[in-house]
Amino acid sequence: MRNVFQPESLPELWRVFEAHPGASVCAGGTDLLVKMRSAMMNPESIACVDRIPDLRGITTEEGGMLRIGACATHGQIVSDPAVRRMFPILVRAVENLGSPPIRNMGTIGGNICTASPAGDTLPPLYALGAEIELRCKAAQRRMLLKDFISGPGKTCLRQGEILASVRLKPPEGYYNNIQHFEKVGQRNALACSIASLAALLQVASDGVVLKAALAWGSVAPVVMTCPDAEKELIGKPLTSETLRRAAAAARQCANPISDVRADRDYRLEVLGNLLMRLLEVAPESAPARDY
Amino acid sequence: MLEVGYSVPRFDARSKVTGEEKYAADCFPEGFAWGGVKRAGIAHAKIVGIETAPARALAGVIAVLTHQDVPGTNRQGLVHKDQPVLAAEKVRHWGDPVALVIAESRETLARALSLIRVDLEPLPGVFDAEQALRPQAPLVHESGNLLLKGEIRAGKGEDALGECEIVVEETFEVPFQEHAFIETENGVAWQEADGTICMHVSSQAPFRDRFEIAHALGIDPLKIRVSSPYLGGGFGGKDGATVQCLLALAALNSGGRPVKMSWDREESFVAGYKRHPVRMYYRLGARPDGTLHGLHCRLYWDTGPYAHLGGEVMELGMEHAGGPYRIPNTEIEGWCVYTNNPISGAMRGFGVCQVSFAFERVMDLLAKKLGMDPLALRIKNGLRRGDKNCCGVTMVHSTGIVPCLEALGRHRLWTERDEWKRSAGPFKRRGTGIAAVLNAMGYGRGLPDSAIARVELTPEGKIRVFCGVVDMGQGNSNAFLQIAGEILCQDSSCVELVHPDTGRTHPSGSSSAGRTTYTYGNALIRACEELKAKLFHRTALFLMLDEPRGLALAPGAVRHLPTNREVPLAMLGKSFPESDRVCISEYVMPVAQDVPDTGKDFSIGFPHVLFSHAAHIACVEVDELTGKVTVEKYLAVTEGGRIINPQGFEQQVHGAVGQGIGYALMERLMMKDGRILNPDFTNYILPTSLDLPDLDSIAVETVEPTGPFGMKGIGEVGINAPLPAIASAIEDAVGAAVNRAPISAACVLHALSGRERANDADGGVQR
Ligand SMILES: Cc1cc2nc3c(=O)[nH]c(=O)nc-3n(C[C@H](O)[C@H](O)[C@H](O)COP(=O)(O)OP(=O)(O)OC[C@H]3O[C@@H](n4cnc5c(N)ncnc54)[C@H](O)[C@@H]3O)c2cc1C
């Protein structure tokens, strides 16, 4: 027997936590139920958080900050007009996540708290410098997503604390005119990533890279960022030569494993190769270099 | 109206889509208990002891049974009886069953299974067919690791290769494949008051199951009743006992309660059957003009620890080892070998799928060496009626490989291939490949391929078809109702089906071997014709006609055309006793009349004489950055005689190609010391709808005069071509040979970098 609670508000949730300190949080359950079936977890009680209004919805706050509730489903994210306008990179990552039923159930909060190096929302969120909001009965805190995830499956979530939202700063001035995401999986749907790349670039009309933020999934214990690779791009024209140097830097930085999906060598080669695709992605509108 | 040749919507579509249809897995009889199995968890070991007391002591446990509780021979198997119901002295693979538990609930069952301690003394294992034949190899069975050595020879055999100006030689490997049906192995069994064991089970062969159970448990086969509803997939994996013997044993020990057993996905992977992995050494010789002259091959089949249908699978593979070609001199050798791997057995394509890869790859090699167009080479050597196949058997039935290849040659995927290849985008390379294949129908000589159909006019005036052959989803029962409706002129509301049940229907063989619609359909046509004649006669009595002439069947009635008078079927149905409303007829598939003086090692199944044919073209795009292969376009041309239901035909072609694409590109069973590392759908990768191309399908409608309405079975032939066609297309795209499946992105990327990256300063990447 297992207790399942469906609190309708945060105060109700806090009461559940008080009565059942060991309760597992369940949002869409698409990770949790898999773990329970394979006996990796056997929680005595479950608190479903998907009905709590404070954790839902996608809203634009003062200052243009976009707040994505932790319980926003992937399906909601993909179809949200503000996300689609400002953060196509996130849309691209999420529209390939799982399958339609998984996207209808699974949430961004669940993807973050699972903290898998293969979590598909993570590379774009890292590249975007996402901030998260944590709540417990007594307090609220904010931190950068990259500081929240400390290892595969590890976060600094405390007992009685939940992830409430993800916050994305609107891009200043010009949008990144290249927002690219690619996942390499074993098939085109329902595929756990073997390697993925999220790339945000600002490329001037003369082809020179003004800004670059890169993040890779599944090539290290946590999502990998690589300032060395970014440095290879910034201030240089976006050519195969430049990208090859960035790829070499990224390979230096990575530490992929071999697993049932692919071996280390394949991941090493591909994580660099993925950068070459940027040659193919046409910038949306090129800002002038002196911006 | 049910017309043959028209896409009548499937009778089972609505009930399956709404969930109304009850599969064996949906059967929960009152008061049932759960049965489950403790499995070895090691690939090869001596059983020192089995500690069952703690499990027995658990509340809610009804029985814990071991080999000591198995009456009878404790041996199951279809041809070779070598597989224990519960292992006694040894375990021979990871999933070998050691103890059977019956419990009140699933939770108690799981707990009881975890309490059973099996004391095992590990033995060295052997996991490769060729290694298992070495003198020092660990013995899987005392009698040795060779299940069967076979040879097929025609003409001068291997010696003919010496006469060939051109010889190509290569080694190929194909992997395990999982059937991956949606409904895993399951059933329910109970014992009636008179001692009869009744079983409702997801099985492709309920009639044969009785004998397998009877032999293993020492029960009278006629005291066993087996019924099978629609199956949620089979593909060969439910041809032969899965849960049957275990369930019968449970029913004997449950105090009269029904026992349900249902393997979960992981158990289905570990304990279920697989497609045989095979290593194939091929040498093919030709004359300078491309005329095939000699073939030699050595084939090593890994059957796992038990025969299942290993010998028969190998036989069929060997019989097809020369493909759909005229090769006057052949020597085909095969070894079917025991190992400690999972059990291999029947699967769609039954040995043919494996050899198709090899013979089509060597045809490509030959074309290259000759500088000849691969399609022209195939057409030149394609079997025509009157030719002898690679076993020396004359093709006397419809033989449509050349028409298939010609139709392919006219299709734009072939004629426009160069243009398509040239228009690849950045970082992409494109290639096309073709494959020509065939697949035998029926059991072959030595095992009469027969069916008995019973058709009844019910008192309500409906036509009831008693079908003794299972529909595992392929739609054969739909074809049966369509045939009955066509002959008796009834629409779908006036025909009904009785599913296979050894107590109600007649033995009609297994649902397998491309035979199901052919053999049962022929029997049914005869039964329906008899019923029609009978209805005319009885109608004549009602209408006081001098003779039964001028009569025709109409929906719900028999009509006298000259006078337009009708006798409703319901009236006829009520007027006569059951014995008079029933017609039963039978059919046996023809066999080869010119049995060649070879293949003596095969007790049953050699040779075959009826074949379906197919030619496929795959157009693939390879990504240079990731090695990912996308099948962009695909055409399947299929020759299987006339078509009873075009939609059913298409579904079989699509399904076969999809399953074949999985076999070619994705499905990889990962093994370590006989243990499956990916026994689930998370890591055993099946194609999704997004991985399959839009498929063009063309039917080459020959007429097979012996077939029901001119048809032949096409459920299997389509799975044989995707792997060779895709391998050929990849080779065309990347310029490196592909001789092993599945073809992973990693190996394609490796091939790409090996070829070009090394010497091309731009990394083979061009904008
Ligand atoms: C078939 C299948 C395919 C999948 N494919 C992909 C894929 O392609 N890419 C991918 O990245 N993932 C994939 N996943 C994994 C999963 O769907 C995602 O990670 C999803 O985003 C998880 O969200 P959820 O709401 O279902 O999480 P849940 O299962 O509800 O929760 C996951 C974990 O996070 C915790 N948690 C959830 N919400 C909160 C919160 N607000 N505060 C604190 N803790 C919380 C839970 O306690 C639990 O430990 C797949 C899963 C399945 C079953």
Query: Which domain-ending residue is among B569, B588, B607?
Result: B588
Asked if the structure places residue B162 within a domain, the reply is no
Omega into B607 within 30° of 0, i.e. cis?
A: yes
Contact between A187 and B690 using a beta-carbon 8 Å cutoff: yes
Report the alpha-carbon distance of residue A36 to residue A42 in Å, rounded: 6
Choice from A26, A163, A182, A193 to test ligand 1 binding pocket (greatest atom count within 8 A of CB) = A26
Give the pTM: 0.97
Same domain, B352 and B436: yes
Which tens digits make up the pLDDT trace of B367-383?
999 999 999 999 999 99
Asked if the structure places residue B119 within a domain, the reply is yes
Asked if the structure places residue B489 within a domain, the reply is yes
| pLDDT, position B767 | 24
Residues B245-254: what's their mean pLDDT? 98
Residue B609 makes CB contacts below 8 A (sequence gap 6+) with B393, B395, B396, B397, B590, B591, B592, B593
User: Please, which pLDDT band fits residue A173 given cuts at 50, 70 and 90?
Assistant: low
Residue B231, domain extent: 24-123+185-262
Query: Which domain-ending residue is among B588, B607, B624?
Result: B588
Which tens digits make up the pLDDT trace of A215-269?
999 999 999 999 999 999 999 999 999 999 999 999 999 999 999 999 999 999 9
Residue B178 has pLDDT above 90, yes or no: yes
Same domain, B497 and B435: no
In chain B, the number of structural domains is 3
Report the alpha-carbon distance of residue B217 to residue B372 in Å, rounded: 59
Q: Would you give the distance in Å from CA B558 to the centre of its chain?
A: 41
Length of chain B in terms of residues written = 767
User: Please, which pLDDT band fits residue B703 given cuts at 50, 70 and 90?
Assistant: very high
Q: The CATH number of the domain where B706 resides is what?
A: 3.30.365.10
Query: Which domain-ending residue is among B232, B262, B292?
Result: B262
Distance B9 CA to ligand 1 centre (A): 40
Q: The CATH number of the domain where B243 resides is what?
A: 3.90.1170.50
Asked if the structure places residue B16 within a domain, the reply is no
Residue % of chain A over a pLDDT of 70: 96
Same domain, B627 and B568: no
Please work out whether the CB of residue A233 comes within 6 Å of at least one atom of ligand 1.
no
Residue B324 has pLDDT above 60, yes or no: yes
Same domain, B288 and B388: yes
Residue A291 has pLDDT above 70, yes or no: no
Which tens digits make up the pLDDT trace of B447-457?
999 999 999 99
| pLDDT, position A200 | 95
| pLDDT, position B291 | 98
Same domain, B627 and B514: no
Which tens digits make up the pLDDT trace of B610-654?
999 999 999 999 999 999 999 999 999 999 999 999 999 999 999
| pLDDT, position B637 | 98
| pLDDT, position A281 | 85
| pLDDT, position A63 | 85
Closest Cβ–Cβ partner in B427, B670, B691 for A188: B691
Which tens digits make up the pLDDT trace of B472-503?
999 999 999 999 999 999 999 999 999 999 99
Which tens digits make up the pLDDT trace of A90-140?
999 999 999 999 999 999 999 999 999 999 999 999 999 999 999 999 999
User: Please, which pLDDT band fits residue B117 given cuts at 50, 70 and 90?
Assistant: very high
Strands (E), B547-684: 551-554, 557-560, 565-568, 582-588, 611-623, 629-639, 671-672, 675-676
DSSP string, A153-197: TEE-PPTT-EEEEEEEPPPSSSPPSEEEEEEE-SSSSS---SEEE
Asked if the structure places residue B632 within a domain, the reply is yes
Report the alpha-carbon distance of residue A233 to residue A244 in Å, rounded: 10
Same domain, B599 and B718: yes
Angle of helix B352-370 versus helix B722-734 axis, rounded to 10: 30
| pLDDT, position A183 | 98
The minimum CA-CA distance between B654 and chain A, rounded to whole Å, is 18
Average pLDDT, chain B: 96
Which tens digits make up the pLDDT trace of B663-677?
999 999 999 999 999
Closest Cβ–Cβ partner in B425, B627, B666 for A187: B666
Asked if the structure places residue B167 within a domain, the reply is no
Same domain, B396 and B533: no
CA dihedral over A264, A265, A268, A270, signed as positive or negative? negative
What ipTM did this prediction achieve? Answer: 0.96
Asked if the structure places residue B148 within a domain, the reply is no
Same domain, B214 and B299: no
How far lies B358's CA from each of B167, B168, B284, B297, B658, in Å? Answer: 15, 12, 10, 10, 20
Same domain, B395 and B439: yes
Asked if the structure places residue B508 within a domain, the reply is yes
- Residues from chain A that touch B265, judged by Cβ atoms under 8 A, are none
Same domain, B715 and B599: yes
Same domain, B326 and B218: no
Nearest to B314 by CA among B338, B290, B294: B338
In a mutagenesis test of the A interface, which of B690, B743, B750, B760 is the best target, namely the one with the most A β-carbons within 10 Å?
Answer: B690
User: Please, which pLDDT band fits residue A287 given cuts at 50, 70 and 90?
Assistant: low
| pLDDT, position B297 | 98
Same domain, B104 and B196: yes
Report the alpha-carbon distance of residue B733 to residue B53 in Å, rounded: 62
Residues B395-413: what's their mean pLDDT? 98
User: Please, which pLDDT band fits residue B505 given cuts at 50, 70 and 90?
Assistant: very high
The minimum CA-CA distance between A228 and chain B, rounded to whole Å, is 21
